[in-house]
Structure 1
C-alpha cells in the first residue's frame, strides 16, 4: 500500500494541520510520497515540520521507500535547495546559483542532537539578530534569549527519538524575523504530567508551560521562566507565537489568543515565533513586573 501526502499551496503555521494525520504513523506503507508540487510559498516552520515528519517516519520504519515530488514553482524549489532541505533528506539536488553566506539573512534547516548543536544554532541566530538590530542591544539580546530557551527545551525535555529541527529567516522588507522549531518527542502534556498531575488535555498543558515558574525539572533554580518571558516579550513586541503539541493548538497574533483542540494529532511539539524588528520593547519593565529586582540584575542579563 502506498500513501501520498499532498502539501497545501502555502505551507505556514496556519496550514500545517492540513498535513497532520493522527493515524499516519500507525501504519506501514510500501511507498510514502511527499508531494510538494503545489507549494508556492513556504515558511521556516513549514520546512522544519516537513523534515521532522519525514525523519520520524523513517525512524518508525513505516515506509519501505520514499519519494519527494519537488515543487513546480522554481523559486520555492531553489529556496528549499538553498535551505538544505534536500540535502537533509540525502536527495541530490544542485543549487543553480552561487551560495552566498547565510549570516544575517537566514538559518538553514539545522538538527538539534546535543548541547553543542544548541550552542552553534544559538550563535548563528544571534549573528542574524545582531546584523538586523544594530542599535537596540537589549531588544536584540531578548530575542536571542527567547529563541535559545525554546531550542534548549528540544534537547532537554522533548525525549524525541529523532533530532529536533530549527529553521529561520529574516524578511528585510517587512522587518520581521521568523523561526520554526520542531521536535517529535513526547509532547508538552506528557512532559509536564510527570510533575503536574492535574493536566487534563494538551491545551491545558500548553497554557501551563507558558506560566511563570512551571518546569518539569526537579531542580527549580532559574527554571520555568524562559517560555513565560518569551510569551510576554512577543506580546509587547506585537509578534506572533504559535505552539502545536498533541492535538492542542495555541496561537497568539495581533493581540488575540486562540486556543483549540484539533482532530489531527502531532507527535511532539511545533513552535513558530515571529518578531517585529522595528518595534522597541521596554524589556526591563516586563521583568520588573514579575521578578523582584533583588533576584536579577537586569543589566547583567541583557
Structure 2
C-alpha cells in the first residue's frame, strides 16, 4: 500500500511524459485498477502529463482496452461521464463526479440486471455505491476526484466494487472531529471502526445522517461478502460470519481505498413493483 504515498510525493516538470509500464502483469483486480487510476489522475492533473502505456500480457491489455482504461487521460475523453463497457462482466472505471453520483449507481444497477441478474434486486448495490461516493464528497476534500470500478466474476458468482480517493483519510476526519470535542486521538484502525458505527456523523448531512459506511458494511455482511478499508495508517476487514480484522499498516495509504465483495447468490428476488430506471 505504499504506492499512493509515493505518487503524492512526486514532483515533475509540467508536460512531462508519464509512461505506465505494466511489465509482466497478467491481471489487475478492481482495487489495483482504481489505485492506479487515482495515481495517474493525480500526476496528470497536477503536472499536465501526457500519459502512455506499455508492457503487460495480452490478456491484461485486452481487458484494459475493453473497459477503455487507456483512454481516460486523453484530453478529449469525458471520464466524468458514464462510459459503456465492451466487457459484459465489468463496468468501465468512472472518475467520480458529484453531479453524476445517483446516475452512476442507477446505471450500475441497470447494467448488471440486464446482463446477469434479470430476476434479482440490485437496489442495495446502487445504494452502497452512492453511500461511498457521498462519503468522498462530504469528507475527503480530495485534490482529485476518486475512481470506482465494478466487476462480476461469473465463475465464483462474486461481484466486487472498489473505490479510491487520495483525499483526507477517514482516520484524519474522525480524529479532527473528536479533537473538537476534547477527545483524545484514536489509533487509525480504531478511527475507521468508529466511522462504521451506526449514527456516527461528522456533521449534519441529510442524505446519510451518519449511516453511510454502516449501510455499506451491513450490505456486505448480509450478502455473505466482505468489506475492506485501507485509510491512512489503518485497515479494517470484515468478512461475513467471521471476526473483524483491524490494525495498523506498515506503510500508510495516503487516502482511502474501499473494497466491497458480495455473493450474488444471496441477492433477493426482484419485486416487480420496484422502481425501474429508464435511460
Change (3 A) 1:27 1:177: closer
Do 1:37 and 1:71's aligned partners in 2 also have CA atoms closer than 8 Å? yes
Corresponding residue of 1:204 = 190
Corresponding residue of 1:266 = 253
Do 1:192 and 1:215's aligned partners in 2 also have CA atoms closer than 8 Å? no
Structure-to-structure mapping, 1:46-65, within 5 angstroms: 46-61=32-47
Do 2:51 and 2:73's aligned partners in 1 also have CA atoms closer than 8 Å? no
Matched residues in 1 for 2:54 and 2:245: separation? 33
Corresponding residue of 1:159 = 141
Corresponding residue of 2:96 = 112
Report the aligned-residue RMSD. Answer: 3.0
Matched residues in 1 for 2:102 and 2:206: separation? 22
Matched residues in 1 for 2:126 and 2:38: separation? 23
In structure 1, runs of 5+ residues without a counterpart are 1-16, 93-98, 283-298
Change (3 A) 1:106 1:122: same
Corresponding residue of 2:30 = 44
Change (3 A) 1:253 1:59: same
Q: Give the TM-score, by structure 1 length.
A: 0.74
Change (3 A) 1:194 1:150: same
Q: Tell me whether 1:213 sits opposite 2:213 in the alignment.
A: no
Bigger relative contact order, structure 1 or 2 (CA pairs below 8 A, ≥6 apart): 2
Residue from 169, 174, 177 that aligns with 1:195: 177
Deviation digits for residues 22-75 of structure 1 (CA, Å, limit 9, x no counterpart): 3543343567653311211111221111010121234444xx866655343101
Matched residues in 1 for 2:109 and 2:12: separation? 41
Aligned with 2:178: secondary structure? coil
Deviation digits for residues 128-180 of structure 1 (CA, Å, limit 9, x no counterpart): 3433333343xx22222222211221222211111111111111222111111
Structure-to-structure mapping, 1:142-153, within 5 angstroms: 142-153=124-135
Corresponding residue of 1:233 = 219
Aligned with 1:22: secondary structure? helix
Structure-to-structure mapping, 1:1-302, within 5 angstroms: 17=1, 19-20=2-3, 22-29=5-12, 33-61=19-47, 68-90=52-74, 105-114=89-98, 116-131=99-114, 132-137=116-121, 140-197=122-179, 198=183, 199-219=185-205, 222-253=208-239, 255-280=242-267
Do 1:36 and 1:68's aligned partners in 2 also have CA atoms closer than 8 Å? no
Matched residues in 2 for 1:43 and 1:91: separation? 26
Matched residues in 2 for 1:103 and 1:235: separation? 28
Alpha-carbon distance, 1:242 to partner: 0.9
In structure 2, runs of 5+ residues without a counterpart are 77-82
Do 2:149 and 2:162's aligned partners in 1 also have CA atoms closer than 8 Å? yes
Aligned with 1:278: secondary structure? helix
Q: How many residues align?
A: 256
Do 2:227 and 2:260's aligned partners in 1 also have CA atoms closer than 8 Å? yes
Matched residues in 2 for 1:281 and 1:232: separation? 15
Do 2:7 and 2:39's aligned partners in 1 also have CA atoms closer than 8 Å? no
